[in-house]
Structure 1
Amino acid sequence: MTRIGEPWFDNAAGPLVRPYAVTRGRTMGAGHDLDMLTLVVTVSPAPRLQHIETEYAEIVQLCRTAQSVAEVSAHLNLPLAVTKILVGDLIAEGMLNFRAPAASDSYNDISGIGDLHILQAVLDGIRKL
C-alpha cells in the first residue's frame, strides 16, 4: 500500500500506458490479416508520416531493414496484437510493404523448420536432463 504523495509504481515498471490507448481502443487493424512472421519493410522513399504517435515513427525507422511483425513487437516492447494494428495502419497508408509467410497445406507440415525426428530427439534429450 502506498502513502499519500508516494509513487504507486517503481522505476522498473516503465511507462504505464495501456495497450488499448496506443491503438485508440481499436482491436482490429486496417484490414490486413498479419501473421507474426509477416515481413515488413519501409517503402523507399518513405512518404511523409501522417501520425504523430511515436510508435509509428519508431516502426518506420525500425523497418528500414526488413523485420517480422514479431521482431517489431519485441523492439517496441508492445503486445503482438497492438503491433499488428499499428503495422496494419502503416501498410494501409503506403508507408510499409509486407510479405506474408508462405502458407503450408496442413498444420503438420513443418517444412523449413527441420526434420520432425530431429525435433523429437532434442525433446527426448531435454526430458532426460
Structure 2
Amino acid sequence: MTEGRRRQGGRQAASLARPYAWTAGRTRPRVDLAVEALVETTPEGRTARFRPTDPLAAVTQLCLRQRSVAEVAVHLGVPLGVARVLLGDLLVAGQVSIRDTLPADASFDERNELLERVLSGLRAL
C-alpha cells in the first residue's frame, strides 16, 4: 500500500469518526425515527443552552424550520444514523418534536407517494 493511499484512507476514516464522536460512538437512536419524519425545535429547544461546538446546537438551529430527518443529515453532512441519534437525544430531552408524515394505517399508494416526494426532495438538495 502506498503512502498516498494510507493518507487518503486516514482522511476518510477521520471524516467519519468525527460525527460518530458526536454520538459517543452510538449508532442506534433511543427512539425509532423514520427518514421522512418531520422535526421541529420546541420552545424548550429554542432556549436550551449549548456549547457553541455542540452538534445539538446546530440541530436545534436547523430545525427552527420544520425539516425531515434526512434533511438534517444532509445539512449536517453526517450519516443518517448519526442524525437519528442526535435527534433521538433531543426528542427525549423535549427539545425537538417529531411528527410522522403518515398514519400507521396508510395505504400502499400513500406510502409510495411519500417515498417519491422524499426522493424528489433529496435529489433537490
> How high is the TM-score relative to the length of structure 2?
0.69
Superposed CA deviations along residues 30-85 of structure 1, whole A, max 9, x for unmatched, are 2x210001111011252323566532111110100100000001101111111000
State the aligned residue count.
Answer: 107
- Which of these two proteins has the greater Rg computed from alpha carbons? 1
1:109 aligns with 2:84: no
1:2 aligns with 2:17: no
1:44 aligns with 2:43: yes
> How high is the TM-score relative to the length of structure 1?
0.67
Question: How far apart are the structure 1 equivalents of 2:53 and 2:102?
Answer: 32
Q: Structure 1 residues 49 and 36 mapped into 2: Cα distance closer, same or farther (>3 Å)?
A: farther
Amino acid at match of 1:33: D
Percent identity over paired residues: 31
Amino acid at match of 2:3: T
Gapped regions of structure 2 (runs ≥ 5): 115-125
Amino acid at match of 1:40: V
DSSP 3-state at the match of 1:34: coil
Question: How far apart are the structure 2 equivalents of 1:78 and 1:22?
Answer: 10
Higher helix share: 2
Q: Structure 1 residues 36 and 51 mapped into 2: Cα distance closer, same or farther (>3 Å)?
A: farther
Amino acid at match of 1:2: E
What is the RMSD of the two structures over their aligned residues, measured on CA atoms?
Answer: 3.0
